Structure 1
Amino acid sequence: MSPSREMPGFRGLSHLTPAGEARMVDVSAKAETVREAAARVTLKMKAATLAAVRAGQLAKGDVLGVARTAGIMAAKRTPDLIPLCHPLRITGVDVEFALDSRRSTITVHARVRTVDKTGVEMEALTAAAVAGLTVYDMVKAVDKGVVLTDLCLAQKSGGKSGPWARSGLARRSPPGEAQPKASRAHTKNRAERIQK
C-alpha cells in the first residue's frame, strides 16, 4: 500500500502510521513526569493446590517468592518482549498476592512506577502475567488445570491523559485472606535484592 494512502480506521492509534504500518512512537518532545500503573491477574485452582501454596508444601519451594521475583524481572524486560515498548527507567515494582480460600484463587497485583516520558501500563501487565505464569509453573506438577483469567490494567496515573481506573474491581484482599507470613518476609528480601 502506498504510504500516501491514509487508512481512516487507523486514526488515533499511535503505534501505526496513517498507512497502517507499525512504528515506535517518538516521545522526544514529551515531558518526564511521575507515572504509575497497576495490573492484576487471577489464577483459579483446586482447593488442595491453594492450601499447599499457603502451607509451603510444593516440591519446587516458595511459590509466591519465586513468582514475585519473576514479576519484578519481567517488568524490567518488557521492551525485550513487546516490540514497540520504550525502554524506561523503572523506579519501583511491587508484586503482591491475595489468596482467597472461598473462591480457591490467587490474585496477582502488580504495580510499576517511573519518572519518564511514557507510561508503564505494559510493564505492569507484563509483571502480573509473568508472575501468574510462574505460579502455574510452580504448581503444575499437582494441578495442571489451573486457569489464568482476567488479566487487566487496574489503574494508571501520570502523563497527558491523566488518571484512569477500571470500575467494578473487587477490593485487593478478601477479609482474613493474605499472603502467608513466612512467604511475605522471604519474598520481600528477595524482591529488595533483585531491585538493587
Structure 2
Amino acid sequence: MGEFTHFNEQGRAKMVDITDKQVTDRKALACSSIKVNEETYQKIIQHDFAKGDVLAVAQVAGVMAAKQTANIIPMCHPIPISGVNISFEWDTLEENEYELHIQVEVKTKGSTGVEMEALTSASATALTVYDMCKSVDKGMVIGPTYLMEKTGGKNGDFKRG
C-alpha cells in the first residue's frame, strides 16, 4: 500500500502538487442508481411532475456538479473539463419497483484525473431525481455509486471487473 499523498510532513492536510505531472487525455466513467416505486416511474417517463422533466433537470444538475467538484471536495483540483455525458437506463426489479441506472462519462486533457468529477456528477444526478420526486416517494433508495473505469495518468487505466 502506498503512502498517503494528501498529508504534509506535519501530518496536516495538503493539496497534492501536480506541477510536474504529464498532461494526458483522461476519462472517467462512474455509475449510480436510484430505485423508485411504480407511481414515481410512471410519472417520470410520462413527464408528469409539476417541477418539470425529471431526467432533463437531473442531467443538467449532473453536468453542473461535475464542473463544481473542486468547490465541494476539499483536496480536489479545479480542472478544465472537456466533456460530460450522462445517460439513463431503466430496469424493472419486481412488481412496483424500478431502478434508474445513471452512467456518467467525464473527459479532460490535464495533469490530474476526473474520477471525482464523474462520481460527484453521478451522485448529484441521483440526488436531483430524489429531490424532484420526493413528494410522491420518500422511500427511494440511491446507490451504489462507484467508479466503473478511468483512463490516463501515471497510475494507468482502471476497469471494474
Give the structure-2-normalised TM-score.
0.93
Matched ranges for 1:92-103 at <5 A: 92-102=83-93
Kept in 2, the 8 Å contact 1:39–1:151? The answer is: yes
Does 1:40 pair with 2:27?
no
Answer with 42-51 or 135-144: which moved more.
42-51
Cα-to-partner distance string for 1:110-140 (whole Å, 9 max, x where unaligned): 1100000000000000000001100001100
**Corresponding residue for 2:21?**
30
Q: CA deviation at 1:17?
A: 2.5
Kept in 2, the 8 Å contact 1:47–1:101? The answer is: no
**Corresponding residue for 1:113?**
107
Matched ranges for 1:33-182 at <5 A: 33-102=24-93, 104-167=98-161
Distance 1:116 1:64 in 2: 30
Cα-to-partner distance string for 1:33-75 (whole Å, 9 max, x where unaligned): 0000011111011022112111111121100000000000000
Structure 2 residue identity aligned to 1:22? A
Q: Which runs of 5+ in 1 are unaligned?
A: 1-8, 168-196
Greater share of strand: 2
Secondary structure of the equivalent of 1:150? coil
Q: CA deviation at 1:100?
A: 1.3
Does 1:13 pair with 2:4?
yes
Distance 1:13 1:35 in 2: 22
Give the structure-1-normalised TM-score.
0.77
User: Identity rate of aligned residues, in percent?
Assistant: 44
Kept in 2, the 8 Å contact 1:113–1:120? The answer is: yes
Q: CA deviation at 1:101?
A: 2.8
Kept in 2, the 8 Å contact 1:50–1:101? The answer is: no
Structure number with greater Rg is 1
Distance 1:147 1:14 in 2: 34
Q: Which has the higher contact order (CA 8 A, sep 6+)?
A: 2
Q: Which runs of 5+ in 2 are unaligned?
A: none
Structure 2 residue identity aligned to 1:164? F
